[in-house]
């Protein structure tokens, strides 16, 4: 087995200041790799449940013991390894994959080798330092596969091919089709996820969600709960990315609910680990530590020792990052203890290197030297690795001198460290030796040299692209100090100001994070209790405080979003080199998306129409009820009056006869009036649903607005009986008629009013005591340079529209309502309708205050 020298170098991280960011990139890749790794390893098996997966794993194992044919042995070993992966038997899986790899190498059987490497890549996800190496190797082998190998390896290879690079949409779809005939739903799920990733990158959230939804269904059938968890957080991201807060929140609730379900019990350790990693990757070190620590017991009970080791490593880094070096030392000691038990030599010397620096920071130099000795004795490191270790040791020696204020003595060590890092080309480590040297030179009075080095450090730092380190801050401070000592006060002042600026930003971010952390901690504590209780009584789950959960997962969601964004940025960087290829493939993706969009657009427009008709129906029913009540009441009354009339005639009371007759006629008119009123409503409903709108006619928008105001209210009222809102109208009495297609403008009004009611009811549901849901419509005549307009304003006192959504709301398919509640076409169609009338539709909104939509329709001389 080849020694994974490269990634060792990358993970021998000795720079507390730089750790955060670099780790972020590496870990983000791991976490997301899991999403994208799982599918290929999962390729190629039939309809099983999780219990069956275990059974199948064991049966592969026993078959393997009896099989003599070497190629079949390779296949069986690969199969066994993959099933170890599904069932989280990491160690056994790695051994089997390694054996498969060695055997294929002997046989010159490349498909077997590639498969083994892919499986190892997935298994090594659990030990992130080594994961990339195997992924890379797997890619190398996979690229060499010929068509024949492809055939030979059967359906495993296409699935496998996907992990290596983004497969263009059309190819994914071809493959999806290809697997149809096998009925192999798991592979299809993996392909769907691959396709989803493509759509995600072009921002087609709808298709992304659809594909992920399909994948989740398949995983559900297999009981692969962890995959479901990961993909659902992925769906959540699509809503977060598209700013659809409501939908995102409701999915978050669903995710939390599913985590507290019993079926997650087994994987809860892994899930909590993933969450902790998320906190870690976004710099929420304290929360990350809490989660890792809390999770350790569970991981130990499940014998997940690789996770335990990795958790301790990350806890150590997290402690170092927040300056708690004593805790960091303790954590690294635990890490070393577990690695000792696992007999993991490769990771052990990384751990030794790690522990040295916090030890120096707490001035435990003897202990630091002890570990430095251990590093020196490390065996089995390749040449490059040795250079790196030596550079790190020199850096440590320099640090010890620096801490003991032996500045001149420290200088040669840092210089040697610098040389070493240059040889191995470690971009992240490189800025540190010059910075430390600058400190030494300032202390020993050589200010010009110090300033040069500090600037060099900044330059190297900028080149490394490591945006999160403290180098600029420290270097600027040193520069200020150096120039101050040189008597160049104004230059010194400039650097000091720069330093202050950087520090202020960091402090502000820290402050915000601390406040958010405190909130999370509070809700997490509550939620933990809830989960404990749930385990006793699952029925209580419905009574859980939804708001609390929403909070936890809003924050977790935000965190995962950040993670995803970082990942995308990372990908983006990597992709720059391949811009041309990617552009072409994206072009194809976009074209195919466009085709699909076109075909569904018509359908959606139709469904929007039907949806608005639906919301009218309930309102119409109520509006018809009112005139019908009068028809009934007045005709009953007339019946009564008629018999009284007879009595009066018999009595000869002609005064009474005259009065009753007058009433009967009056009532008869009322009956007719209300009958007509009902008829009018039915007519307008028919008009609304008519496919081709009639031509324009002079219309009084006051009347139209009033009509739809009532219809919309009753429509909503029919759906939610507990809802009520104050309705305010302020119609200008002298409003001129305008030339419009009444049913089209009616639809616009209906949309705006329905949205307004929706907004106030959303806010009302938050349950603030002194809130009174209010929707108002007003009209006014406006004179402008371009002529006269009728202005209709629809105002609500709901939550308002988020600023970032304001410019999107008129875009087709944009909706913040949960899936199924809005087509995302209402406002877009409204906009088109108003524009087609030569008018304008505007929106103003303030968070927490409400929203006002303004329709402007030109007054054309219609007389």
Partner 1 sequence: MKILVVDDERDMELLFRQRFRKEIKGGQHIFFFSFSGEEAISFLNEHPKDADLILSDINMPGMNGFELLTEIRKKHKNPPPTVMMITAYGDHENRSRALELGANDFLTKPVDFELLKEKLEGVPGQN
Provide the binding-site residues for partner 1, judged by CB under 8 A.
Answer: 622, 625-626, 628-630, 632-634, 637, 641, 663, 666-667, 670, 673-674, 709, 713, 717, 721-722, 724, 726-729, 772
| Residue 32 near residue 234, CB atoms below 8 Å | no
Of the candidates 775, 640, 664, 784, the residue with the CA atom closest to the CA atom of residue 710: 775
User: Judging by beta carbons within 10 Å of its beta carbon (0-12, 13-18, 19+), is residue 500 exposed, middle or buried?
Assistant: middle
CA distance 535 to 264: 11
Smallest distance from the beta carbon of 751 to partner 1, in angstroms? 20
List the one residue out of 616, 782, 794 whose CA is nearest residue 705. 794
Q: How far is the CB of 704 from partner 1 (least distance, A)?
A: 16
Do the beta carbons of residue 400 and residue 362 sit within 8 Å?
no
Phi first, then psi: what are they for 788, rounded to 5°? -90, 145
The minimum distance between CB 625 and partner 1, in angstroms, equals 6
Which CB, 444 or 633, lies closer to partner 1?
A: 633
Q: How far is the CB of 709 from partner 1 (least distance, A)?
A: 8
List, in sequence order, every residue forming a beta bridge with 792; answer none if it has no partner.
Answer: 779, 855
Nearest to partner 1 of 505, 647 (CB atom): 647
Provide, rounded to whole angstroms, the least separation between the CB of residue 827 and partner 1. Answer: 25
CB nearer to partner 1: pick between 493 and 772: 772
Closest by CA to 135, choosing from 36, 54, 43, 235, is 36
Report the DSSP beta bridge partners of residue 492: none
* Residue 151 or 720 with smaller CB distance to partner 1: 720
Residue closer to partner 1, measured from CB, 182 or 772? 772
**Strand-pair category, 774-784 with 697-699:** unpaired
| Close Cβ partners of 356 (under 8 Å, ≥ 6 residues apart) | 14, 368, 371, 372, 375, 392, 396
Q: What is the spatial distance between Cα 64 and Cα 74, in angstroms, rounded to a whole number?
A: 9
Q: Which residues contact 387 (CB under 8 A, 6 or more apart)?
A: 420, 423, 424
User: Which of 263, 676 has the CB closer to partner 1?
Assistant: 676
| 663 or 805: CB nearest partner 1 | 663
The residue (of 462 and 636) whose beta carbon lies closer to partner 1 is 636
Please, are residues 137 and 10 in contact by the beta-carbon 8 Å criterion?
Answer: no
Q: CA–CA distance from 536 to each of 262, 391, 533, 574, 637 (Å)? A: 10, 55, 5, 48, 65
Residue 391 vs 775, nearer CB to partner 1: 775
Cβ of residue 119: shortest distance to partner 1, in angstroms? 59
Nearest distance, CB of residue 761 and partner 1, angstroms: 14
Tokens representing residue 300 in the block: 């130990």
Our CB check for partner 1 shows the closer of 664 and 741 to be 664
C-beta closer to partner 1: residue 626 or 802: 626
Nearest distance from C-beta of residue 755 to partner 1, angstroms: 19
For residue 754, give both structure tokens: 């329905």
Q: Which residue has the tokens 């789950």?
A: 541
User: DSSP for 52-68?
Assistant: HHHHHHHHHHHHHHH--
Alpha carbon distances (Å) from 338 to 342, 359, 374, 518: 6, 19, 17, 31
Closest distance to partner 1 from the beta carbon of 614 (Å): 19
Minimum CB distance to partner 1, residue 169 (Å): 50
Identify whether the C-beta of residue 803 lies closer than 8 Å to the C-beta of residue 761.
Answer: no
| CA dihedral of residues 771, 772, 775, 781 (deg, nearest 10) | -90
Handedness of CA 221, 227, 228, 234 (dihedral sign): negative
Q: Supply the minimum distance, in Å, between the C-beta of residue 771 and partner 1.
A: 13
Q: What's phi and psi for 557, nearest 5 deg?
A: -65, -45
Minimum distance of partner 1 from residue 542's CB (angstroms): 21
Minimum separation from the CB atom of position 757 to partner 1 (A): 13
Choice between 595 and 666, CB closer to partner 1 = 666
Closer of 597 and 621 to partner 1 (Cβ): 621
- Pick from 114, 121, 132: which is nearest to 74 by CA? 114
Choice between 123 and 631, CB closer to partner 1: 631
> Which burial class, exposed, middle or buried, applies to 666 when counting CB atoms under 10 A from its CB (0-12, 13-18, 19+)?
exposed
Of 401, 275, 416, 358, nearest to 19 by C-alpha is 358
The minimum distance between CB 727 and partner 1, in angstroms, equals: 5
């Amino acid at each position: 087995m080849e020694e994974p020298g490269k990634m060792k170098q990358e993970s021998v991280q000795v720079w507390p200041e730089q750790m955060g960011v670099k780790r972020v990139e590496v870990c983000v890749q791991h976490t997301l790799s899991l999403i994208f790794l799982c599918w290929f390893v999962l390729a190629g098996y039939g309809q099983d449940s999780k219990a069956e997966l275990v059974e199948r794993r064991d049966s592969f194992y026993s078959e393997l013991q009896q099989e003599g044919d070497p190629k079949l042995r390779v296949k069986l070993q690969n199969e066994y390894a993959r099933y170890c992966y599904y069932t989280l038997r990491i160690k056994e899986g790695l051994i089997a994959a390694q054996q498969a790899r060695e055997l294929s190498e002997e046989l010159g059987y490349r498909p077997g080798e590639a498969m083994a490497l892919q499986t190892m890549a997935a298994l090594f996800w659990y030990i992130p330092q080594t994961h990339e190496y195997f992924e890379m190797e797997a890619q190398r082998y996979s690229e060499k596969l010929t068509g024949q190998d492809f055939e030979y390896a059967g359906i495993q290879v296409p699935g496998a091919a996907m992990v290596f690079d983004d497969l263009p949409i059309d190819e994914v779809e071809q493959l999806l089709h290809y697997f149809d005939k096998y009925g192999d739903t798991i592979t299809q799920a993996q392909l769907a996820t691959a396709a989803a990733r493509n759509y995600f990158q072009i921002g087609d959230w709808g298709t992304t969600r659809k594909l992920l939804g399909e994948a989740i269904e398949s995983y559900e059938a297999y009981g692969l709960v962890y995959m479901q968890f990961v993909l659902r957080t992925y769906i959540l991201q699509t809503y977060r990315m598209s700013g659809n807060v409501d939908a995102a929140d409701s999915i978050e609730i669903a995710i939390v609910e599913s985590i507290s379900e019993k079926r997650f019990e087994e994987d809860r350790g892994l899930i909590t680990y993933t969450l902790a990693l998320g906190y870690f990757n976004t710099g929420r070190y304290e929360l990350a530590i809490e989660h890792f620590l809390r999770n350790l017991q569970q991981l130990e009970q499940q014998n997940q020792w690789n996770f335990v080791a990795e958790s301790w490593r990350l806890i150590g880094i997290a402690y170092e990052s927040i300056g708690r070096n004593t805790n960091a030392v303790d954590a690294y000691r635990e890490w070393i203890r577990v690695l000792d038990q696992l007999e993991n030599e490769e990771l052990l010397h990384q751990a030794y290197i790690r522990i040295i620096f916090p030890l120096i920071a707490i001035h435990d130099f003897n202990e630091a030297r002890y570990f430095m000795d251990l590093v020196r004795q490390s065996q089995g490191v390749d040449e490059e690795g040795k250079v790196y270790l030596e550079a790190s040791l020199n850096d440590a020696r320099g640090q010890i001198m620096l801490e003991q204020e032996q500045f001149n003595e420290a200088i040669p060590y840092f210089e040697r460290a610098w040389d070493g890092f240059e040889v191995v080309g470690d971009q992240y480590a490189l800025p540190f030796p010059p910075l430390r040297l600058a400190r030494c030179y300032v202390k020993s009075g050589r200010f010009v040299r110090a300033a040069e080095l500090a600037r060099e450090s900044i330059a190297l730092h900028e080149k490394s692209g490591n945006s999160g380190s403290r180098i600029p801050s420290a270097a600027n401070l040193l520069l200020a100090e150096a120039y101050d000592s040189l008597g160049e006060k104004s230059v010194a002042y400039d650097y000091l100001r720069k330093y202050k600026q950087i520090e202020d930003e960091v402090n502000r971010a820290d402050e915000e994070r601390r406040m958010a952390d405190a909130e999370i901690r509070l809700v997490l504590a509550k939620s933990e209790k809830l989960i404990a209780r749930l385990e006793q009584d699952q029925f209580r789950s419905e009574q859980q405080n939804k708001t609390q959960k929403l909070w936890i997962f809003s924050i977790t969601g935000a965190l995962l979003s950040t993670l995803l964004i970082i990942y995308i940025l990372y990908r983006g960087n990597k992709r720059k080199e391949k811009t041309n290829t990617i552009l072409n493939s994206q072009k194809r993706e976009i074209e195919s998306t466009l085709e699909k969009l076109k075909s569904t657009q018509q359908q959606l427009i139709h469904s929007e129409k039907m949806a608005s008709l639906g919301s009218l129906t309930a309102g119409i029913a109520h509006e018809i009820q009112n005139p019908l009540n009068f028809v009934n009441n007045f005709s009953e009354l007339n019946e009564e009056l008629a018999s009284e009339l007879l009595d009066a005639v018999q009595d000869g009371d002609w005064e009474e006869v005259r009065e009753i007759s007058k009433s009967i006629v009056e009532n008869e008119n009322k009956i007719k009036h209300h009958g007509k009123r009902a008829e009018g409503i039915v007519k307008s409903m028919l008009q609304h649903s008519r496919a081709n709108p009639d031509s324009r006619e002079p219309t009084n928008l006051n009347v139209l607005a009033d009509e739809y105001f009532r219809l919309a209210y009753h429509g909503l009222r029919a759906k939610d009986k507990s809802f009520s809102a104050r309705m305010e109208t302020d119609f200008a009495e002298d409003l001129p008629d305008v030339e419009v297609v009444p049913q089209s403008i009616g639809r616009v009004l209906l949309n705006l009013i329905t949205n307004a009611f929706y907004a106030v009811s959303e806010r009302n549901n938050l349950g603030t005591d002194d809130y009174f849901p209010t929707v108002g419509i007003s009209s006014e005549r406006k004179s402008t340079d371009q002529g006269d307009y009728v202005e209709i304003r629809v105002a609500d006192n709901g939550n308002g529209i988020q600023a970032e959504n304001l410019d999107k709301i008129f875009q087709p398919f944009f909706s913040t309502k949960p899936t199924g509640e809005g087509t995302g076409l209402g406002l877009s169609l409204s906009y088109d309708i108003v524009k087609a009338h030569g008018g304008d539709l505007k929106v103003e909104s303030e968070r927490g205050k409400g929203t006002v939509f303004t329709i402007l329709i030109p007054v054309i001389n219609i007389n």
